[in-house]
Amino acid sequence: MTKFLAKYEGNAADENLVDSLTMQTQYELIEAAKIAWPTLTSTPCILDIMSTVPLLLRTVCIAPLPIGIHKNPWMVEVVALPSVIKHVNSRDFFKIRHRTLNGELFNSGYLINNNIKQCIISQGVGKHISSYLLSNDTEYFHPETDLAMWASVIVMLLSKQTLCDWMREELDLISKLNSVTYVSAKSSWNKYVCQVEGENFRLALVTENPSLPSHLKCPHINKFIMACYFLKDRLTAEQLKSRRNALNFTVET
């Protein structure tokens, strides 16, 4: 975090991200954090980081966490997206988590960042924050937690009979987060997406196989669904249909 703050510069992306409660921008929050960060007298834990450097989150409401979530974050189920208190900073998140505001409950969230040059989500500290936001466990860390949360939002929205404008905006936000966070074609996630795009896409539905590299394994169908969603403009209707049929066969068996 020290390196992130030292290199941080103002940018239009962060100036356009606004906290729904304080009306401060991400840029203003981070600039203030530059002053507060050096005052920490001990090695900060993840809660200290989230309190001292307020990062904006997209609030969500998730179902009670199932057994095994620590090993497989893809099991998370997003059940609602607050429409009034949409974005809060990580410092205030602790104060209002699990509370109902304006008739809406949120108990989790995911980091939002549109700044491709300084993407905190792709860094180790960002991964740790994402893991905590899901599990409420400061010791928990899983590198795919951000992806798992995005996938659950996508699946929830695509299950609706009609996509409203605000739903499309949420889907666009996740698409942007994906493009900003996973820039490298060598990342495990992008390798998985390439597998879904290729002729041997059925391999991307295999849950467990010792002969497959780890990035090809599919611990939950949400992973495959999100990859297909991101590929919707690169695959033909027939190709998308073949992947849907393979997914249906996997679910039925």
Ranges 6-10, 167-171, 213-217, most confident: 167-171
Task: Find the helix or strand (DSSP H, E) in which 46 lies.
Answer: helix 46-52
Mean pLDDT (the chain, rounded)? 91
Domain ranges, ordered by start, for the chain: 2-183, 184-253
8 Å CB contact between 122 and 182: yes
Q: Could you read off the pLDDT of 172-189 as tens digits, one per residue?
A: 999 999 999 998 888 999
pLDDT for 179 = 93
Question: Distances from the Cα of 34 to the Cαs of 28, 55, 171, in angstroms?
Answer: 10, 13, 32
Q: Residue with structure tokens 């993407």?
A: 119
pLDDT at residue 27 greater than cutoff 80: yes
70: helix, strand or coil = coil
Please report, rounded to a whole number, the percentage of residues in the chain having pLDDT higher than 90.
67
Q: Which residues touch 13 (CB under 8 Å, ≥6 apart)?
A: 113, 114, 115, 116
pLDDT at residue 144 greater than cutoff 80: yes
Closest among 63, 52, 3 to 30, alpha carbons compared: 52
Q: Could you read off the pLDDT of 196-242 as tens digits, one per residue?
A: 999 999 999 998 778 888 888 899 999 999 999 999 999 999 999 99
Closest among 115, 106, 191 to 147, alpha carbons compared: 191
pLDDT-based confidence at residue 4 (cuts at 50, 70, 90): confident
Q: What pTM value is reported for the model?
A: 0.93
Q: Which residues touch 191 (CB under 8 Å, ≥6 apart)?
A: 185, 215, 216
The mean pLDDT value for 139-153 works out to 96
User: For 209-249, what is the HEC assignment?
Assistant: CCCCCHHHCCCCHHHHHHHHHHCCCCCCHHHHHHHHHHHHH
pLDDT at residue 80 greater than cutoff 90: yes
Distance, in Å, from the CA atom of 88 to the CA atom of 250, rounded to the nearest integer, reads 38
34: helix, strand or coil = helix
8 Å CB contact between 57 and 90: yes
